Amino acid sequence: MTTTVSDISREKSAELFEKAKQYFPGGVNSPVRAFKSVYGTPLFIERGDKARLWDADGNEFIDYCCSWGPLILGHNNEEIREAVQNQLGKGLSFGAPTALENDLAELILKNNSKIEKIRFVSSGTEAVMSAIRLARGYTKRDKIVKFEGCYHGHSDSLLVKAGSGLVTFGETSSAGVPKAFADETIVIALNDKEALEQVFKDFKDQIAAVIIEGVPANNGLLIQDKDYIQFLREITKQNGSLLIFDEVITGFRLGFEGASKYYDIQPDILTYGKIIGGGMPVGAYGASRELMSCISPDGAVYQAGTLAGNPVAMAAGIAALSILAKEGFYEKLEQTTGAFVDELRSFIAERNYQIKIFTIGSIFWFAFTDQEKIQRADQIDPASMEFYKKMHRELLNRGIYFGPSGYEVGFISAAHTQEDLTHTLLMIKESIDVVYQ
Ligand SMILES: *Cc1c(COP(=O)(O)O)cnc(C)c1O
């Protein structure tokens, strides 16, 4: 039995989008926002509060995109808002050190044994770009190995068969990246020990670093086996290459020590973003004291930022991370997510639908497949995205906001109440029934 509902009004959003198209390429300031992979005009958001979003047409949604990950505490969190408001009266930027930078660094380093020193930047892209430079500067080698299906931001060296938006658009790399840059980046498949062994044979003593997402979550959720990640740690060490763990999504999502703790490994350089700024633009990279001493002004690897360590952003980060550091925060969120996913899995099993839900921490991903595991990008069938596209429309019509691409994961925040989740489960079940009817 299915319940049909009518399409939500997108009149105002459509008007705004027409205007935006005159100003911005594709009408947006980040490609995936253009809703190219789902139905209809992108929704222009007016405000958010806790787990909810309101668009320009007055439609209300329970949000599972959460600004693509940063909002682990939901929208308009009171403590973060107050910290930001308190800072606003003191000025927006000084281009000089502030105590706030110390406070955020202390909070992070005290709760994260994987890094000894940190440098704040303004985005995840910048964090990863800087980490790559550090690895090259330290090892005096040029080549980087990355994995098909991992996204590390849009710096030149890493826009080589990158995931997320690019896969959605059916491209494998970006125009404008010099071939000479791409030549320094080797792309191999995830979850393939032989490919790793081969690459270290083929490029002996040339590989500065291997970079991997803590848990690949930008092109589906490709949860890697523990023994594979530990093998990756070993083989990089044996070959004098650094291991960069890009924890821009997983950092502060799977606890303060992120996926490094989950896999029980010590990467050489870690990158952060998203949650770290409490919703403000902050990124960071960290490593041992020795490695970080290579960074300017201590060392020869140059990296700087006019707005790096911005006081308002630091205040937001401190407020957010102070809440996350409280005993039991992550356990509770993971339990909530586990129960949510379990309920959906039972429903799917009952109905015999070909859907798998993969999950780790408070991240979940719907895969329209009957495969038990998906650990490599090429195991995702692009044709299956048609199901997601249909489900996405049904969900929006029922007041549930998921990311506008089937390659994107969903997030549960601490602001999602039991009531929100129970209602969402009902709406998801209805939507799936409609997709398969
Ligand atoms: C989002 C993301 C980035 C890029 O961060 P931006 O802040 O968008 O530049 C890099 N790496 C990973 C793993 C990400 O999820």
Convert the pLDDT of each residue in 279-321 to its tens digit. Answer: 999 999 999 999 999 999 999 999 999 999 999 999 999 999 9
Q: Burial, 170: exposed, middle or buried (Cβ in 10 Å; 0-12, 13-18, 19+)?
A: exposed
Interstrand relation of 185-188 and 60-63 (parallel, antiparallel or unpaired): unpaired
Q: Report pLDDT for 63.
A: 98
Specify the pLDDT at position 163: 37
Other residues' Cβ atoms within 10 Å of the Cβ of residue 329: 16
Average pLDDT of the segment spanning 109-118: 98
Q: Where does the pLDDT of residue 165 fall: very low under 50, low under 70, confident under 90, or very high at 90 and above?
A: very low
Q: Is the CB of 152 under 6 A from ligand 1?
A: yes
Q: Summarize pLDDT for 71-91 with one digit per residue, the tens.
A: 999 999 999 999 999 999 999
C-alpha 429 to ligand 1 mean position (Å): 31
Q: Tell whether domain 11-76+328-436 is in CATH 3.90.1150.10.
A: yes
Expressed in angstroms and rounded, the spacing between residue 348 Cα and the centre of ligand 1 is 32
- Token digits for 109? 């380093």
Domain boundaries, the chain: 11-76+328-436, 78-324
Which region holds residue 258: left if phi is over 0, alpha if psi is between -120 and 50, else beta? left
pLDDT of 178 higher than 90: no
Which ligand 1 atom lies nearest to the CA of residue 281? Answer: 7
Q: Specify the CATH number for 78-324; select among 3.40.640.10, 3.40.50.360, 3.30.420.10, 3.30.1490.100.
A: 3.40.640.10
Q: Residue 419 and residue 407: Cα distance in Å, rounded?
A: 27
- With a 6 Å cutoff on the Cβ, whether 409 touches ligand 1 is no
Per-residue pLDDT at 168 exceeds 60: no
Shared fold status for 11-76+328-436 and 78-324? no
Buried b (16+ CB within 10 A) or exposed e, 18-38: eebeeeeeebbeeebbbbbbb
Look at residue 254 and tell me whether its pLDDT is greater than 50: yes
> Does residue 272 have its Cβ closer than 6 Å to ligand 1?
no
Q: Would you state the pLDDT for residue 166? A: 39
Catalytic (active site) residue 407: no
Question: pLDDT digits over 198-231, tens only?
Answer: 999 999 999 999 999 999 999 999 999 999 999 9
Tell the residue number behind the tokens 């690895």, with chain if given. 135
Minimum CA distance residue for ligand 1 atom 8: 124
Give 272: exposed, middle or buried? Use CB within 10 Å, 0-12, 13-18, 19+: buried
Mean pLDDT for 35-52 is: 97
Q: Name the residue with the closest Cα to ligand 1, atom 13.
A: 248
C-beta of 218 in contact with ligand 1 (< 6 A): yes
pTM: 0.96
Tell me: pLDDT of 167 over 70: no
Classify burial at 349, counting beta carbons within 10 Å of its beta carbon; exposed 0-12, middle 13-18, buried 19 or more: exposed
- Report which protein residue has its CA nearest ligand 1's atom 5: 124
| Mean per-residue pLDDT over the chain, rounded | 95
Whether 330 is catalytic: no
Per-residue pLDDT, averaged over 184-206, amounts to: 94
The single residue of 151, 285, 388, 407 carrying the catalytic annotation is 151
Looking at residue 177, its pLDDT comes to: 86
What pLDDT is attached to residue 1?
57
As a whole number, mean pLDDT of residues 94-112 equals: 98
pLDDT digit string, tens, across residues 373-390: 999 999 999 999 999 999
Residue 359's CB is within 10 A of a number of other CB atoms, namely 21
The pLDDT score that the predictor gives to residue 2 is 65
